[in-house]
Amino acid sequence: MLFLYNTLAHKKQKFEPIKAKAVSMYACGPTVYSAPHIGNFRAYLEQDILRRTLQHEGYKVTHVVNITDVGHLVGDANLGEDKVKLAAEREHKSARAVADFYTGEFTKDLEQLNILTPSVMPKATDHIKEMLSLIEALDKKGYLYKVPTGIYFDTSKFKEYGKLAKMTFEKLNKYLKAGARVERAAGLKNITDFAVWRFRKRESADDMVWDSKWGEGFPGWHIECSAMSMKYLGETFDIHCGGIDHIPIHHTNEIAQSEAATGKKFVNYWVHNNFLTVDGGKMAKSVGNIYTISQLVEKGYSPIAVRYLLISAHYRKKINFTLEALSNSANTLNGIYSFLQRLSSLESSAPLDKEFKMLAEEAHSKFFKDLNNDLNLPAALSAMHNLITETNRKMGHDLLSKADAKLVLEMMLELDSILGLQFEKNSKQDKKEIKGKIEKLIEERENARKAKDFKKSDEIRELLKNKYKIVIEDTKDGIRWHKEV
Ligand SMILES: [Zn+2]
């Protein structure tokens, strides 16, 4: 039984899907105008954990993540340039080429982070027809009005406007007025009103501009999510995910226009993840602390260590990313991998231990209990680490039976169906690969010694000893090494 914090209800609730064995889930996808950074992936990792948890509970999950390749304006404001169009001008490419390139980067990163591929990844530009028919429905019901820059949704006409943010229409108006980033388009009735269609004349054949009965232009960002989510998941679906920054504007507007058009409840559960900070502050180009997955991989970090770090905090709490924390995560992961390797190759004649089996089963059920309690991964992970510590202790005293080792290994692989930390792949030692790594390190150490970099050569000696149990001796005849027994 899964409990989730539902932003719409402002409390934790038992999850009950519309259909018995299936779950429909939507997440606002990337705007493909620049390389996605680790902050973006915090959301997709949280959603991946949610999806894996639902699948473990036996649900078939239809997971939709859209690709915003048009319509998202700079600063999310009512005025300004389209982000993809601006990037195209900057990179001297067509908007299509820019969008395709960064969509490719996004899917590559999803794969590197071992995030399950979404069931559907619809592009906004492939769904203009659906958006126009949603706009048409709103127009017929009298929710829209025209100003010189586009067609706007009159938020004062939707009586539950602001319910997600737990704000009244008046309160949200005040909130937006206080925010400097929202500019007021000429003719706007309320500051909370937003464009569903923006006018722009076609400048070239490949311009992202479409004809409509209201005039040439392109869709507003919010209408894209409503049109694509309802197309693939129905007018009412189970879960909508996204970052908490989307609550007061983007998601509030998605609800307003979807429910105004259909007269039905749009989404039952809204699940929002908190921010990621870097070195204690906001990520910013000017500070130079925006990390992408490929940059971290280039620096020698494993994307799975990034995954581990980002899922180790509760999704509703802020997480602070530092390179030091990433190194710690990599070390913890390596510790788990070598634990799994020892477990899978254990030779033991120790007898079965009923008490140990009970302890292992308790840890296993605590993991899933914590997970089902609003995805409390920090608690679930600590149950896993307790199991590792206890198992290690028994192994260290030669008291772990082969059958108990097998049981723990099976449990660990089951936990990894949620965690996605590649336990199975790393539970077997590839002897050839390891031999290659050791030989490379010995060569590096020799080069460091020749260059009189004794600090580095000592570090490599330590690494070989700690990680691979390799002892190095420098003799007159050259280097000798053997495995520590
Ligand atoms: Zn969205």
407 and 454 share one domain: no
Amino acid 481 reads: W
Residue 149 reports pLDDT greater than 60:
yes
What is the predicted pLDDT for the residue at 178?
64
Ligand 1 centroid–CA 225 distance in Å is 5
CA 76 vs. chain centroid, Å, equals: 21
Other Cβ atoms less than 10 A from the Cβ of 478: the count is: 8
Half-sphere exposure of 15 (CA within 13 A, CB side): 32
Ligand 1 centroid–CA 217 distance in Å is 20
- Grouping H, G, I as helix, E, B as strand and the rest as coil, residue 426 is coil
Tell the residue number behind the tokens 């017929």, with chain if given: 140
Residue 434 reports pLDDT greater than 90:
no
435 and 415 share one domain: no
Domain-embedded: residue 348: yes
Ligand 1 centroid–CA 295 distance in Å is 27
Ligand 1 centroid–CA 249 distance in Å is 10
Q: Which residues contact 363 (CB under 8 A, 6 or more apart)?
A: 383, 384, 386, 387, 390, 411
158 and 230 share one domain: yes
Which stretch, 94-103, 202-211, 313-322, has highest mean pLDDT?
313-322
Residue 23 reports pLDDT greater than 80:
yes
What is the predicted pLDDT for the residue at 386?
97
What is the predicted pLDDT for the residue at 285?
67
Task: Kindly state the percentage of the chain with pLDDT values over 90.
Answer: 68
341 and 440 share one domain: no
Ligand 1 centroid–CA 129 distance in Å is 18
156 and 253 share one domain: yes
Domain-embedded: residue 223: yes
Poorest-pLDDT segment among 25-39, 232-246, 363-377? 25-39
Ligand 1 centroid–CA 202 distance in Å is 26
Ordered alpha helix ranges (H), 202-263:
221-233, 252-262
30 and 110 share one domain: yes
Domain-embedded: residue 454: yes
Ligand 1 centroid–CA 222 distance in Å is 6
Give the whole-angstrom CA distance, residue 34 versus residue 103. 9
Domain-embedded: residue 210: yes
83 and 48 share one domain: yes
Look at residues 379, 370, 373, 278 and name the one whose alpha carbon lies nearest to residue 319.
278
Ligand 1 centroid–CA 44 distance in Å is 13
User: DSSP character for 119?
Assistant: S
Give the whole-angstrom CA distance, residue 63 versus residue 359. 36
Ligand 1 centroid–CA 357 distance in Å is 46
Give the whole-angstrom CA distance, residue 161 versus residue 154. 10
71 and 141 share one domain: yes
Q: Which CATH number covers residue 53?
A: 3.40.50.620
Ligand 1 centroid–CA 28 distance in Å is 4
Ligand 1 centroid–CA 386 distance in Å is 39
Ligand 1 centroid–CA 30 distance in Å is 9
User: DSSP character for 198?
Assistant: E
Amino acid 131 reads: M
Ligand 1 centroid–CA 383 distance in Å is 35
Q: What is the mean pLDDT of residues 303-323?
A: 96
Ligand 1 centroid–CA 375 distance in Å is 22
238 and 337 share one domain: no
Give the whole-angstrom CA distance, residue 153 versus residue 222. 11
Ligand 1 centroid–CA 342 distance in Å is 46
Ligand 1 centroid–CA 243 distance in Å is 10
What is the predicted pLDDT for the residue at 187?
84
Higher per-residue confidence, 484 vs 282: 282
Ligand 1 centroid–CA 252 distance in Å is 10
Ligand 1 centroid–CA 253 distance in Å is 9
262 and 361 share one domain: no
Among the candidates 419, 448, 469, a domain finishes at: 419
Residue 78 reports pLDDT greater than 80:
no
| Confidence label for 85 from pLDDT (cuts 50, 70 and 90) | confident
Instruction: Burial-class residue 434 by CB neighbours within 10 Å (0-12, 13-18, 19+).
Output: middle
Q: Which residues contact 362 (CB under 8 A, 6 or more apart)?
A: none
Among the candidates 419, 439, 457, a domain finishes at: 419
Domain-embedded: residue 98: yes
Could you read off the pLDDT of 153-198 as tens digits, one per residue? Answer: 999 999 999 889 887 777 777 777 766 545 567 788 988 899 999 9
The sign of the CA dihedral 139, 194, 67, 99 is positive
474 membership: H or E segment, kind and range: strand 470-475
Asked whether 348 and 398 are in contact (CB, 8 A), the reply is yes
Domain-embedded: residue 232: yes
Q: Which domain holds residue 259?
A: 3-273
Ligand 1 centroid–CA 103 distance in Å is 16
| Interhelix angle 38-56/402-419, nearest 10 degrees | 120
Look at residues 40, 52, 42, 36 and name the one whose alpha carbon lies nearest to residue 118.
52
Domain-embedded: residue 345: yes
Task: Kindly state the percentage of the chain with pLDDT values over 70.
Answer: 95
Other Cβ atoms less than 10 A from the Cβ of 251: the count is: 27
Ligand 1 centroid–CA 195 distance in Å is 14
What is the predicted pLDDT for the residue at 247?
93
pTM of the model: 0.86
Tell the residue number behind the tokens 């388009």, with chain if given: 185
Q: Compute the CA torsion angle 348, 360, 50, 329 (nearest 10 deg).
A: -60
What is the predicted pLDDT for the residue at 290?
87
Q: Which CATH number covers residue 345?
A: 1.20.120
State the total domains in the chain: 3
Q: What is the mean pLDDT of residues 308-328?
A: 96
Pull the structure tokens for residue 150: 């586009």
463 and 408 share one domain: no
Ligand 1 centroid–CA 39 distance in Å is 16
Look at residues 61, 31, 35, 36 and name the one whose alpha carbon lies nearest to residue 49.
61
User: DSSP character for 208?
Assistant: S
Could you read off the pLDDT of 127-144 as tens digits, one per residue? Answer: 999 999 999 999 999 999
Tally of helices (H runs) and strands (E runs) in the chain: 15, 14
Q: What is the mean pLDDT of residues 240-244?
A: 95
Pull the structure tokens for residue 231: 């197309």
**Cα distances (angstroms) measured from residue 405 to each of 265, 340, 392, 394, 481:** 50, 9, 10, 10, 31
Q: What is the mean pLDDT of residues 114-134?
A: 96
What is the predicted pLDDT for the residue at 179?
60
Ligand 1 centroid–CA 323 distance in Å is 30
415 and 438 share one domain: no
What is the predicted pLDDT for the residue at 485?
56
Domain-embedded: residue 301: no
